[in-house]
Chains A and B, each alone.
Chain A
Amino acid sequence: AQSVTQLGSHVSVSEGALVLLRCNYSSSVPPYLFWYVQYPNQGLQLLLKYTSAATLVKGINGFEAEFKKSETSFHLTKPSAHMSDAAEYFCAVSDPNFNKFYFGSGTKLNVKP
Protein backbone atom coordinates (compact mmCIF):
# COMPACT_ATOMS: atom_id res chain seq x y z
CA ALA A 1 0.00 0.00 0.00
CA GLN A 2 1.06 3.53 -0.68
CA SER A 3 1.17 6.35 1.83
CA VAL A 4 2.54 9.86 2.09
CA THR A 5 3.76 11.77 5.14
CA GLN A 6 4.26 15.51 5.05
CA LEU A 7 6.28 16.75 8.00
CA GLY A 8 5.04 20.05 9.32
CA SER A 9 1.47 21.15 8.78
CA HIS A 10 2.60 24.79 8.83
CA VAL A 11 5.85 26.29 7.59
CA SER A 12 6.70 29.97 7.83
CA VAL A 13 9.54 31.64 5.92
CA SER A 14 10.59 35.18 5.18
CA GLU A 15 10.32 36.57 1.69
CA GLY A 16 13.52 35.73 -0.17
CA ALA A 17 14.38 32.78 2.08
CA LEU A 18 14.69 29.16 1.05
CA VAL A 19 11.51 27.12 0.99
CA LEU A 20 11.77 23.46 2.01
CA LEU A 21 8.64 21.34 2.31
CA ARG A 22 9.16 17.74 3.31
CA CYS A 23 7.51 14.66 1.89
CA ASN A 24 8.25 11.02 2.64
CA TYR A 25 6.46 8.17 0.99
CA SER A 26 5.91 4.51 1.53
CA SER A 27 5.61 2.28 -1.49
CA SER A 28 6.17 -1.36 -2.25
CA VAL A 29 7.03 -0.54 -5.86
CA PRO A 30 8.80 2.38 -7.51
CA PRO A 31 6.21 5.12 -7.25
CA TYR A 32 5.16 8.11 -9.25
CA LEU A 33 5.29 11.27 -7.15
CA PHE A 34 3.61 14.64 -7.47
CA TRP A 35 3.47 18.01 -5.77
CA TYR A 36 0.33 20.11 -5.97
CA VAL A 37 -0.42 23.64 -4.73
CA GLN A 38 -3.79 24.85 -3.51
CA TYR A 39 -4.63 28.54 -3.21
CA PRO A 40 -7.63 29.62 -1.11
CA ASN A 41 -10.98 28.65 -2.58
CA GLN A 42 -9.37 26.90 -5.52
CA GLY A 43 -8.64 23.37 -6.60
CA LEU A 44 -5.23 21.73 -6.58
CA GLN A 45 -2.80 22.65 -9.33
CA LEU A 46 0.08 20.47 -10.45
CA LEU A 47 3.51 21.89 -9.58
CA LEU A 48 5.66 19.02 -10.76
CA LYS A 49 5.82 15.26 -11.13
CA TYR A 50 8.37 12.47 -10.95
CA THR A 51 7.74 9.50 -13.18
CA SER A 52 11.06 7.62 -13.09
CA ALA A 53 13.08 9.86 -15.36
CA ALA A 54 15.51 12.41 -13.89
CA THR A 55 15.58 12.40 -10.09
CA LEU A 56 15.69 16.21 -9.91
CA VAL A 57 12.42 17.54 -11.24
CA LYS A 58 11.78 21.18 -12.08
CA GLY A 59 8.29 22.55 -11.88
CA ILE A 60 6.41 25.77 -12.30
CA ASN A 61 6.99 28.97 -10.33
CA GLY A 62 10.63 28.11 -9.62
CA PHE A 63 9.93 25.03 -7.54
CA GLU A 64 11.85 21.80 -7.80
CA ALA A 65 11.92 18.45 -6.02
CA GLU A 66 14.43 15.67 -5.76
CA PHE A 67 13.51 12.00 -5.63
CA LYS A 68 15.75 10.15 -3.18
CA LYS A 69 15.01 6.47 -3.19
CA SER A 70 17.34 5.65 -0.31
CA GLU A 71 15.52 8.15 1.89
CA THR A 72 12.07 7.53 0.40
CA SER A 73 11.75 11.28 0.13
CA PHE A 74 10.54 13.81 -2.40
CA HIS A 75 11.10 17.19 -0.75
CA LEU A 76 9.98 20.38 -2.47
CA THR A 77 12.31 23.38 -2.56
CA LYS A 78 12.48 26.90 -3.91
CA PRO A 79 15.59 29.06 -3.48
CA SER A 80 13.77 32.33 -2.79
CA ALA A 81 10.22 32.61 -1.48
CA HIS A 82 7.77 35.15 -2.87
CA MET A 83 4.67 36.43 -1.14
CA SER A 84 2.65 34.79 -3.90
CA ASP A 85 3.93 31.36 -2.82
CA ALA A 86 1.72 31.45 0.28
CA ALA A 87 -0.62 28.50 -0.19
CA GLU A 88 -1.12 24.90 0.87
CA TYR A 89 1.10 22.27 -0.72
CA PHE A 90 0.24 18.61 -1.13
CA CYS A 91 2.52 15.72 -1.90
CA ALA A 92 0.95 12.73 -3.64
CA VAL A 93 2.06 9.24 -4.60
CA SER A 94 0.50 6.90 -7.07
CA ASP A 95 0.98 3.20 -7.46
CA PRO A 96 2.06 2.22 -10.99
CA ASN A 97 -0.05 -0.91 -10.67
CA PHE A 98 -3.24 0.90 -9.77
CA ASN A 99 -4.82 4.17 -10.81
CA LYS A 100 -5.01 5.58 -7.31
CA PHE A 101 -3.43 8.69 -5.91
CA TYR A 102 -2.65 9.02 -2.21
CA PHE A 103 -2.33 12.56 -0.88
CA GLY A 104 -0.47 13.81 2.14
CA SER A 105 -2.21 15.94 4.73
CA GLY A 106 -0.79 19.14 3.30
CA THR A 107 1.61 21.85 4.45
CA LYS A 108 0.50 25.45 4.68
CA LEU A 109 3.26 27.82 3.65
CA ASN A 110 3.23 31.30 5.12
CA VAL A 111 5.58 33.91 3.64
CA LYS A 112 6.43 36.86 5.84
CA PRO A 113 7.36 40.24 4.35
Chain B
Amino acid sequence: DAGVIQSPRHEVTEMGQEVTLRCKPISGHNSLFWYRQTMMRGLELLIYFNNNVPIDDSGMPEDRFSAKMPNASFSTLKIQPSEPRDSAVYFCASSLTGTSNSPLHFGNGTRLTVT
Protein backbone atom coordinates (compact mmCIF):
# COMPACT_ATOMS: atom_id res chain seq x y z
CA ASP B 1 0.00 0.00 0.00
CA ALA B 2 1.75 3.12 -1.26
CA GLY B 3 -0.56 5.47 0.56
CA VAL B 4 -1.89 8.76 -0.77
CA ILE B 5 0.71 10.46 -2.91
CA GLN B 6 0.84 14.21 -3.32
CA SER B 7 3.06 16.36 -5.46
CA PRO B 8 4.89 18.60 -5.21
CA ARG B 9 5.86 18.54 -1.51
CA HIS B 10 6.75 22.20 -1.62
CA GLU B 11 5.68 24.94 -4.00
CA VAL B 12 6.86 28.52 -3.93
CA THR B 13 5.29 30.89 -6.41
CA GLU B 14 4.64 34.55 -6.95
CA MET B 15 1.29 36.21 -6.54
CA GLY B 16 -0.77 35.97 -9.69
CA GLN B 17 0.73 32.71 -10.89
CA GLU B 18 -1.23 29.53 -11.46
CA VAL B 19 -0.60 26.68 -9.06
CA THR B 20 -1.57 23.05 -9.60
CA LEU B 21 -1.45 20.50 -6.81
CA ARG B 22 -1.69 16.82 -7.58
CA CYS B 23 -2.96 13.77 -5.74
CA LYS B 24 -3.03 10.04 -6.30
CA PRO B 25 -5.40 8.31 -3.88
CA ILE B 26 -5.00 4.81 -2.52
CA SER B 27 -5.99 2.27 -5.12
CA GLY B 28 -9.53 1.01 -4.53
CA HIS B 29 -10.62 4.01 -2.50
CA ASN B 30 -13.65 5.66 -4.01
CA SER B 31 -13.69 8.98 -2.15
CA LEU B 32 -11.17 11.79 -2.25
CA PHE B 33 -10.96 14.90 -0.11
CA TRP B 34 -8.94 18.11 -0.34
CA TYR B 35 -8.14 19.92 2.91
CA ARG B 36 -6.23 23.09 3.70
CA GLN B 37 -4.33 23.52 6.98
CA THR B 38 -3.30 26.87 8.44
CA MET B 39 -2.37 28.02 11.92
CA MET B 40 -5.32 30.38 12.02
CA ARG B 41 -8.07 28.13 10.71
CA GLY B 42 -6.82 24.62 11.32
CA LEU B 43 -8.03 21.95 8.92
CA GLU B 44 -10.63 23.08 6.44
CA LEU B 45 -12.42 20.80 3.98
CA LEU B 46 -12.31 22.35 0.54
CA ILE B 47 -14.03 19.74 -1.61
CA TYR B 48 -14.69 16.04 -1.77
CA PHE B 49 -15.39 13.59 -4.56
CA ASN B 50 -17.21 10.29 -4.54
CA ASN B 51 -16.60 7.98 -7.50
CA ASN B 52 -14.85 10.88 -9.28
CA VAL B 53 -17.88 13.17 -8.95
CA PRO B 54 -17.67 16.35 -6.85
CA ILE B 55 -20.18 16.01 -4.03
CA ASP B 56 -19.57 19.05 -1.87
CA ASP B 57 -17.45 22.04 -2.86
CA SER B 58 -18.90 24.46 -0.35
CA GLY B 59 -15.51 24.83 1.28
CA MET B 60 -13.78 26.12 -1.82
CA PRO B 61 -12.89 29.69 -0.86
CA GLU B 62 -13.64 31.40 -4.14
CA ASP B 63 -13.68 31.02 -7.87
CA ARG B 64 -9.91 31.13 -8.02
CA PHE B 65 -9.95 27.58 -6.71
CA SER B 66 -10.97 24.61 -8.83
CA ALA B 67 -10.61 20.85 -8.46
CA LYS B 68 -10.94 17.98 -10.86
CA MET B 69 -10.89 14.23 -10.68
CA PRO B 70 -10.67 12.90 -14.24
CA ASN B 71 -10.30 9.30 -13.11
CA ALA B 72 -10.17 7.17 -9.98
CA SER B 73 -6.41 7.50 -9.58
CA PHE B 74 -5.79 11.21 -10.02
CA SER B 75 -7.03 14.57 -8.80
CA THR B 76 -5.83 18.14 -9.10
CA LEU B 77 -6.45 21.31 -7.13
CA LYS B 78 -5.75 24.47 -9.07
CA ILE B 79 -5.44 28.04 -7.85
CA GLN B 80 -5.51 30.74 -10.48
CA PRO B 81 -4.46 33.41 -9.78
CA SER B 82 -2.70 32.67 -6.53
CA GLU B 83 -2.56 35.17 -3.65
CA PRO B 84 -0.36 35.36 -0.54
CA ARG B 85 -3.34 34.41 1.67
CA ASP B 86 -3.46 31.06 -0.13
CA SER B 87 -0.21 30.08 1.59
CA ALA B 88 -0.97 26.92 3.57
CA VAL B 89 -0.41 23.19 3.61
CA TYR B 90 -2.84 21.42 1.30
CA PHE B 91 -3.71 17.82 2.07
CA CYS B 92 -5.35 15.22 -0.05
CA ALA B 93 -7.07 12.29 1.66
CA SER B 94 -8.91 9.26 0.42
CA SER B 95 -11.29 6.80 2.02
CA LEU B 96 -12.38 3.33 1.06
CA THR B 97 -16.10 3.77 0.91
CA GLY B 98 -16.69 7.46 1.40
CA THR B 99 -19.13 6.75 4.20
CA SER B 100 -18.79 8.58 7.48
CA ASN B 101 -17.39 5.57 9.34
CA SER B 102 -14.64 5.02 6.80
CA PRO B 103 -11.46 6.74 8.03
CA LEU B 104 -9.54 9.23 5.95
CA HIS B 105 -6.04 8.37 4.79
CA PHE B 106 -3.94 11.49 4.30
CA GLY B 107 -1.04 12.27 2.02
CA ASN B 108 1.99 14.16 3.30
CA GLY B 109 0.69 17.43 1.94
CA THR B 110 1.92 20.22 -0.30
CA ARG B 111 3.30 23.27 1.45
CA LEU B 112 2.37 26.25 -0.71
CA THR B 113 4.04 29.61 -0.28
CA VAL B 114 2.79 32.52 -2.35
CA THR B 115 5.00 35.60 -2.25
A44 touching B106 by the CB < 8 A rule? yes
Quote the shortest CB–CB distance from B52 to chain A (angstroms). Answer: 15
| CB-defined contacts of B103 to chain A, threshold 8 Å | 34, 46, 49
Contact A43 B55 (CB under 8 A): no
Instruction: Give bound CA distance, A36 to B106, whole Å.
Output: 10
Count A-side interface residues using an 8 Å CB cutoff. 24
B43 interfacial by beta-carbon distance below 8 Å = yes
**8 A Cβ contacts from A83-108 to B:** 90, 94-101, 103-106
On whether the beta carbons of B100 and A90 are closer than 8 Å, the reply is: no
- B interface residue numbers (CB < 8 A to A): 4, 31, 33, 42-43, 45, 48, 50, 55-56, 91, 93, 98-101, 103-109
A contact residues vs B (CB 8 Å cutoff): 32, 34, 36, 41-46, 49, 51, 90, 94-101, 103-106
